[in-house]
Amino acid sequence: MQFNTALGFFICALSLLCLQLDLQILSRLLSVIVLALGIATLSQYVFETTLGIDQLFMDHTIMTKTSHPGRMAPNTALCFSLCSLALLIGGLKRSLMISLCGAALILGAMALLGYIFKAEGVYGWGNLTRMAVHTAFGFVILTSGSIAYALSVKKNRRFDFWRLAPFSIATTVFILTLLSWYAVKEETQARNEAYFKDLTQETSDAILDRYALYEESLRGGLGLHYASIEVSRSEWKAYVNALNIEQTLPGINGLGYIDYTLAKNLEEYIESARADEAPDFQNHPQTLYPDKFIIKYIEPEEMNKEAIGLDIGFEPNRRAAAERARDLGVAALTKKILLVQDHEKKAGFLLLIPTYKTKNTPQTIEERREHFQGWVYAPFIGPKFLEQLSKVSREQLNFAVYDGETIVPETLIYKNAAIDMQGPYSIQTKIKIAGRTWTLQYSSSEDFQPPAKENTATLILLIGSIFSILLYATLWRLLHSKELIADQVEKRTAQLAESEQRFRATMEGSAVGMALVAPDGRWLKINNAMSDILGYSEEELKSLDFQSITYNCDLEADLDFVQKVLYGDLKTYQIEKRYIRKDGSIIWGLLSVALVREADGSPKHFISQIQDITTQKEAAEKILKANEELERSNLELERFAYIASHDLQEPLRKIGGFTDRLKAHLEGQLDDKALTYMNFVTDGAERMRELIQGLLAYSRIRYDKGESEKLDANEIVARAIDNLSETIAENEAKIQYDNLPTVSYSKVMMTQLFQNLISNAIKYRSKKNPEIIISAHKVSDFWEFSVADNGMGIEEQNLDRIFEMFQRLHRKEEIPGAGIGLSLCQKIVESYGGEIWVKSEHGKGSVFTFSVPI
Ligand code: ADP
């Protein structure tokens, strides 16, 4: 177990302990540390970087299957991230804590099983550090403990394991994403590496091919030497010209021949060389070696001038290669040298193939030395040789070629770019060329085009992560909305139950009869009050419908309303109807009905309320009857009064008339007393007549309201004034009226009304001359006419009395009158639906006002 892993366990355990002890803040603080550790480690793996945390506390000691020194395994880091996140939110969200720990538990248990069943792929991801067996065990313990804690937090509520679904599914998807990301990354790497290797192989092959070509052409020259005893300069020239080396052998400087001669024969040799069309032939440099390796000719001559006559044995590298070629009878390549003809001082080489006097290469070294003749050779410049090998590899690869096995600047032959050799892919290979080893160093260039896109894996990781998050959010939302709906349903059901209970209680306790009635009229449920009203028990009523106990005459109207409510024309209705009680008696009920519908709109039941109004109904009927009776008796009375007053007039007239005649007849025979008595009779008769006439007028009003016609109230008042002209003149009364409206009433009645009021206003005058003002106002639907005077006024306590019949405030001797005038006025006004009243201040005047409907 790495040190960081152990530390992680320690802090996690502490955090869990703090959570249990309700030290929430400390617990969170600790889990944040582990979370940071886990995420940092994971990102080191993902981004292939080093954050310096792996050996922060302790240098690495474990080297077994460890991809990075001191670093915990990627699955360990993931488990720590999950566990610490669980602990971080553990105090808040129980289900999430269980989900997170569940995921870590699965990873840990899987690793443990991997160890048990020897499936390395389960606990070790790729070539990365493996999760140690006791780490796996540790996670099983830690996560089980955390889950147990989460489950114990709210024991009273059953835990719904569906709550784990969003996180579990999303985590599974995320782990699958991680695995795919890793697999694709490995695959990409492998494919690209293979491609890179192919490219390097291609380059190595091209070098070997080019070399083979050089050797081939040298062997052609060799053939020429074997074919003739002596190859002349011009023959060689012809041969090389024919080869067209600039085209066919890229990078080669020329093809030449090196003679082997002993130092003692040098003079002789130079002479023979000069004889072969080279009069200026010189040997250089001078050496002390007993044998000379002299370049006799080389073509094209122009560019290799300096080489002609050179004793290549002067320098150990060249000498060694030449001797090796001679002794082994093979092509030999020098080490990196500087060619005398190359002024640019680039890495140069000589490739030498020995020729012998025998036709075939002799078998032994001794024989070869003995029969040795010289070398066909080719100088070439390394960079030229290695340039332009293959277009594809040249662009996509950086490569450097070193002479020998070591990579040091001194042995560098060629580098295809100045840039550093550090690409994402690099490799080193060696090739053998003519007995020498060249080391090739390859690295992918900036233009390296890997066949597999490296960002595919990153894309998978990105999309997978986003998908996991979205999946989690969607599932969480789904689950949550399910819970929300369930909560709502629960709440609504409770509300419904409560309201039903309330309704039931209301129904039971109500003094009003209440019932639920089916749409077809059957009684479904009734309360006690209902059972009292109708005289049936609930059980008895349930076997009946409302139609069967409705009084026949009221059924039709009720059914009519029922239909209207059922078809939605009405929401509720209220009617008075009669029911037949169980004992056969009939009662009046005030029925209020409302319809309750099902959710789909179909009728469920009626809620009916019945109030027993039998008593009110009977009382109202009694009142009605009494009123009718009163009306009738009033009419009779009035008729009687009319007839009486009408019929009384005649005998009264007779009394008056005959008293007068008796007075005339007994003229002079009567003493004063008798005369006084006689006058009493006449007065009484006269007064009686007045009373009777008043009565007659009063009782006539009901029968004889007269024809209604359009009347200008101004004209009516004028008529009344005209009738009263004598009195007005006597009292010097002033009467004002103006702009009175037009009304539709009987002319006679209206005239009488105004006449009475005006005459009273004059009759009950004060010492001042009477001043009377008549006016009219519109008050809502009525005209209010007022007759105001400046007369004696009326004492407050008498204001009501004066409208009663025969009620007077003065004795007849003071002011004459019968006490009928105002009651007549009242009767006229009331017969039109109006009212009359008076306002007065004693001693200052009175205002009589009456209203009549417009
Ligand atoms: P009569 O005038 O025949 O007495 P009324 O019915 O017309 O009968 O009047 C009843 C009483 O009302 C009168 O006796 C009088 O006392 C009082 N009264 C009527 N009109 C006036 C008025 N304009 N001013 C003061 N008192 C009045």
Please report which confidence band the pLDDT of residue 758 belongs to, taking 50, 70 and 90 as the band edges. very high
Mean pLDDT lowest among 292-301, 392-401, 656-665, 825-834: 392-401
Rounded Cα–Cα distance for residues 178 and 175 (Å): 5
Token reading at 749: 């009645």
Quick one: CA torsion of 12, 18, 23, 28, rounded to 10 degrees?
10
Residue with token string 């044998």: 291
Å from CA of 413 to ligand 1 middle: 153
| % residues pLDDT > 70 (the chain) | 97
Q: Is 794's C-beta closer than 6 angstroms to any atom of ligand 1?
A: yes
Lookup: tokens for 477: 């939302």
pLDDT at residue 702 in the model: 62
pLDDT of res. 156 = 47
Calpha distance 418→763 (Å, rounded): 145
d(CA 846, CA 786): 10
Residue 349: name the closest of 210, 557, 542, 240 by CA.
210
pLDDT for res 717: 94
CA–CA distance, 187 with 179 (Å, rounded to integer): 12
Indicate which residue's Cα is closest to atom 7 of ligand 1: 821
Q: Cis link prior to 300 (omega < 30° from 0)?
A: yes
pLDDT band at 732 (very low <50, low <70, confident <90, very high): very high
Angle between helices 3-20 and 133-153 (to 10 degrees): 10
* pLDDT value of residue 420: 64
Burial of 266 (0-12, 13-18, 19+ CB in 10 A): middle
Residue 819 CA, ligand 1 centroid: distance in Å: 7
Cβ of 15 closer than 6 Å to ligand 1, yes or no, is no
Sign of the CA dihedral 763, 765, 770, 771? negative
Q: For the residues 87-94, what does the mean pLDDT come to?
A: 80
Q: Assess whether the C-beta atom of 802 lies below 6 angstroms from ligand 1.
A: yes
Confidence category of residue 718, pLDDT binned at 50, 70, 90: very high
| Residues contacting residue 468 through CB under 8 Å, at least 6 positions apart | 170, 171, 173, 174, 177
For residue 57, how far is its CA from the centre of ligand 1 (angstroms)?
A: 125
Residue 807 CA: which ligand 1 atom is closest? 10
817 lines ligand 1 (CB under 6 A): yes
Q: What is the pLDDT of residues 320-356, one digit of tens each?
A: 999 999 999 999 999 999 988 888 888 899 999 999 9
Mutate to test the pocket of ligand 1, among 727, 767, 807, 808 (most ligand atoms within 8 A of CB): 808
Question: Ligand 1 centre and the CA of 849: distance in Å?
Answer: 14
Give the residue, by CA position, lying nearest to ligand 1 atom 11: 808
Contact 72, 5 (CB under 8 A): yes
Cα-to-centroid distance, 846 and ligand 1 (Å): 11
Q: Which residues is 847 bridged to in the sheet?
A: 788, 839
What DSSP designation does 314 have? G
697, 731 contact by CB (below 8 A) = no
Centre of ligand 1 to C-alpha 807, Å, is 8
Residues 404 and 218 sit within 8 Å (Cβ to Cβ): no
Query: Is residue 824 lining ligand 1, measured as CB closer than 6 Å?
Result: no
Is there an atom of ligand 1 within 6 Å of 721 CB? no
Say whether the peptide bond before residue 362 is cis (omega within 30 degrees of 0): no
282: three-class secondary structure by DSSP: coil
Residue among 698, 752, 758, 802 to mutate when testing ligand 1 (max atoms within 8 A of CB):
802
Three-state SS for 190-250 is HHHHHHHHHHHHHHHHHHHHHHHHHHHHHHHHHHHHHHCCCCCHHHHHHHHHHHCHHHHCC
Q: Decide whether any atom of ligand 1 lies within 6 Å of the 792 Cβ.
A: yes
Identity at 547, one-letter amino acid code? Q
366 — pLDDT class (breaks 50, 70, 90)? very high
Among 57-71, 392-406, 435-449, top mean pLDDT goes to 435-449
Q: CA-CA distances (angstroms) from residue 436 to 12, 406, 659?
A: 62, 13, 189
Q: Which residue CA neighbors atom 23 of ligand 1 most closely? A: 761
- Going by C-alpha positions, the residue among 97, 170, 82, 94 that lies closest to residue 474 is 170
Cβ of residue 810 lying under 6 Å from some atom of ligand 1: yes
Q: How far does residue 813's CA lie from ligand 1's centre (Å)?
A: 14
Residue 743 CA to residue 754 CA, distance in Å, equals 14
Ligand 1 pocket mutation pick from 811, 822, 823, 828 by most atoms within 8 angstroms of CB: 822
Q: Using CA positions, which residue lies closest to atom 3 of ligand 1?
A: 817
Q: How far is the CA of 828 from the centre of ligand 1 (A)?
A: 17
User: Is 290 within 8 Å of 316 (Cβ atoms)?
Assistant: no
What is the per-residue pLDDT for 343? 84
Most confident of 46-55, 145-154, 830-839: 830-839
- At 155, is the pLDDT very low, low, confident or very high (cuts 50, 70, 90)? low
- Tell how far the Cα of 691 is from the centroid of ligand 1, in angstroms: 15
d(CA 780, ligand 1 centre) in Å: 29
Is the model's pLDDT at 201 over the cut of 70? yes
pLDDT in tens, 282-330: 898 998 999 999 999 998 888 898 899 999 999 999 999 999 999 999 9
Token code pair at residue 621: 């009927």
**For residue 391, is pLDDT > 80?**
no
Task: Judge if the beta carbon of residue 222 lies within 6 A of ligand 1.
Answer: no
Query: What's the gap in Å between 758 CA and the centre of ligand 1?
Result: 11
Pairing of the two strands 771-779 and 734-737: parallel
User: Stretch 212-225: mean pLDDT, rounded?
Assistant: 89
Closest CA to 231 of 259, 203, 196, 210: 259
Which atom of ligand 1 lies closest to the CA of 793? 25
Q: What is the DSSP string of 94-145?
A: HHHHHHHHHHHHHHHHHHHHHHHTT-HHHHS-TTSPPPPHHHHHHHHHHHHH
d(CA 702, ligand 1 centre) in Å:
23
Compute the distance from residue 811 Cα to the ligand 1 centre, in Å: 11
In 3-state terms, what secondary structure has residue 576? strand
pLDDT tens digits, one per residue of 591-644: 999 999 998 889 999 999 999 999 999 999 999 999 999 888 888 877 787 777
State both tokens at 485: 């709906």
Nearest to 138 by CA among 65, 76, 74: 76
Question: Two tokens at 818?
Answer: 């019968």
Q: Ligand 1, residue 808: give the atom nearest the CA.
A: 14
Q: Residue 706: is its pLDDT beyond 70?
A: no
Instruction: Measure 681 CA to ligand 1 centroid, in angstroms.
Output: 26
**How far is residue 75 from each of residues 13, 70, 71, 406, measured CA to CA in Å?**
19, 15, 11, 41
Note the maximum CA span of the chain.
Answer: 232
d(CA 159, CA 836): 86
Q: What was the pLDDT predicted at 772?
A: 96
Which of these, 6, 58, 10, 12, lies nearest to 35 by C-alpha position? 12
Q: What is the pLDDT of residues 768-791, one digit of tens each?
A: 999 999 999 999 899 999 999 999
CA distance 416 to 379: 21
Q: What is the pLDDT of residue 276?
A: 86
User: Residues 14-37: what's their mean pLDDT?
Assistant: 90
The DSSP code for 769 is: P
Q: Is 694 in the pocket of ligand 1 (CB under 6 A)?
A: no
Report which ligand 1 atom has the smallest distance to the Cα of 803: 6
pLDDT given for residue 171 in this prediction = 82
Of all protein residues, whose CA lies closest to atom 19 belonging to ligand 1? Answer: 760
Amino acid at 789: D
Q: Is the beta carbon of 770 within 6 A of some atom in ligand 1?
A: no
pLDDT, residue 614, reads 92
- Cα 414 versus chain centre, distance: 66
pLDDT digits (tens, 9 = 90+) for 479-514: 888 778 888 899 999 999 999 899 888 888 888 899
Q: Report the 10 Å Cβ neighbour count for 150.
A: 24
CA of 761 to the centre of ligand 1 (A): 8
- d(CA 73, CA 15) in angstroms, rounded, equals 22
Regarding the beta carbon of 791 and ligand 1, being less than 6 Å apart is answered yes
Q: Which atom of ligand 1 is nearest to the CA of 791?
A: 24
What is the secondary structure of 324-339 as a DSSP string?
Answer: HHHHHTS-EE--SEE-
The pair of three-digit structure tokens given for residue 426, joined into one six-digit string: 């690099």
Place of tokens 């582990």: 34
802 alpha carbon – ligand 1 mean position (Å): 7
Query: Minimal CA–CA distance to 299: which of 371, 243, 368?
Result: 243
By most ligand atoms within 8 Å of CB, the mutation choice from 727, 764, 766, 849 for ligand 1 is 764
Q: Which residue, judged by its Cα, is nearest atom 8 of ligand 1?
A: 819
Pocket of ligand 1 contains residue 764 by CB under 6 Å: yes
Cα(705) to ligand 1 centroid in Å equals: 24
Out of 754, 760, 796, 846, mutate this one to test ligand 1's pocket (max ligand atoms within 8 Å of CB): namely 760
Single out the residue of 428, 424, 430 nearest to residue 441, CA to CA: 428
**CB of 348 closer than 6 A to ligand 1?**
no
Q: Average pLDDT over the chain, rounded to whole?
A: 88
pLDDT confidence of residue 805: 84
Atom of ligand 1 nearest to the CA of 820: 6
Lookup: tokens for 688:
């009686």
Q: Pull the structure tokens for residue 190.
A: 């492998």
Could you tell me which of 450, 467, 435, 492 has the C-alpha nearest to residue 317?
435
Q: What share of the chain is helix, strand, coil (3-state, %, to 5)?
A: 55, 20, 25
| Residue-wise pLDDT tens digits, 443-474 | 888 888 888 887 888 899 899 999 999 999 99
Closest C-alpha among 93, 74, 72, 90 to residue 31: 90
158 has pLDDT over 60: no
